[in-house]
Amino acid sequence: MSAKRSSINRPPTPDVDRDRENQEPTLQEIINIKMIESGEKERLKELLRERLIECGWRDEMKSLCRAYTRKKGRNNVTVDDLVHVITPKGRASVPDPVKAELLQRIRSFLASTAT
């Protein structure tokens, strides 16, 4: 019994060796945590959501979903399907002023907290 047996019921605890990958959290991760902890991420998300509703983006996405649903059949759609349906168009059709506003906010957050 020289080999260690890992427990059946839970994932193995990461070895000290494997920890090397995770050792330094990236800048991205640090900032992400700061953003979440300070509540800024939530505020930014609400702001983006509001702007996207105002400009009709959300309605466009909903109509894409409805069209897809009609084709596929109401009970055959999955959330995953719908995400794949709207992601390309969704990313491309965010109005420039909205994107600019959000980027501006994010950048000032970075400037105020990051290195």
d(CA 61, CA 82): 10
**Closest Cα partner for 39 from 98, 91, 113?**
113
C-alpha torsion sign, points 45, 46, 48, 49:
positive
Q: How far is the CB of 44 from other proteins (least distance, A)?
A: 6
Residues of this chain that bind other proteins (CB under 8 A): 27-28, 31-32, 35, 41, 44-45, 48-49, 52, 58, 61-62, 65-66, 69-70, 74-75, 77-79, 82-83, 85-87, 90-91, 94, 99-100, 102-103, 106-107, 110-111, 114-115
Minimal distance in Å, beta carbon 91 to other proteins?
6
